[in-house]
Amino acid sequence: MENSTDKIDFSRIGQEKVKKLLRENGLNTLRDLSNLKSFCYDQTDGKRYHKHIKSFLIDGDINTVWNAYKTISPQETRNGSMVSFGLMYSRRTNEIMYTSDSYSGIKEGQIIFLNLNLFGNIVHLAVGHEIIEVREREKTIIICYLQNGATRGTQLIHLKETGDQTEVIHETWYRSNSLFRDKILYPGFHEKGLIEFHENVKRKIEDYKLS
């Protein structure tokens, strides 16, 4: 028998679209979340995927920047005019993290639900991603899209040292069932979301240097 701690507390989720996504897909408990699957880039079907790449330069050595990406919370990185944090589920600990909860750092098996604000607050969409790998030696984070979403594919965040700065390369392989979405809508919105995300990390590093 499930108790109240096994259930998602919808009162702690601020975005209606995230609540709707969870309810429509029967995601009401920890067990429901643990059964979710991710759909990553499939090399055997690579011709059906589109590729997007964007790079950022951040002042600081690679270890400092890497530590920031590993420790900054999704409440901080997903806190902009376009993307906001809904909740996170950890496969490792079988726990949910809400907006007001503390964050212990990035780990494989973290599933993050986000709200996307599109067309100047006219359209809201909810999406889910999973942290698949955190490669310490290669300074790389691999993220895949969750089942039941419009998009399948993989995002790869890779750090590269360039003198006094660190280059952060964000590559995305993606596809959906709509060519219009993949060619016209997705690239622009995706890039705007990436800029918000990486600028928030950059700001965190700058604030740390000033403190």
pLDDT band at 1 (very low <50, low <70, confident <90, very high): very low
Residue 97: per-residue pLDDT = 98
Q: Is 171 helix (H, G, I), strand (E, B) or coil?
A: strand
Residue 46: per-residue pLDDT = 87
Report yes or no: 78 and 86 within 8 Å, Cβ to Cβ. no
Sign of the C-alpha dihedral computed for residues 37, 39, 43 and 48 taken in this order: positive
Please state, rounded to an integer, the average pLDDT across all residues of the chain: 93
* Distances in whole angstroms, Cα of residue 193 to Cα of each of 33, 155, 190: 25, 13, 5
State pLDDT tens for residues 67-91: 999 999 999 999 988 999 999 999 9
* pTM for the structure as a whole: 0.93
Select the more confidently predicted residue: 94 or 118: 94
State pLDDT tens for residues 153-192: 999 999 999 988 999 999 999 999 999 999 999 999 999 9
Residue 210: per-residue pLDDT = 59
Q: At what angle do helices 186-210 and 62-71 cross, to 10 degrees?
A: 110
Is the pLDDT reported for residue 120 higher than 90? no
Tokens of 169: 């390369």
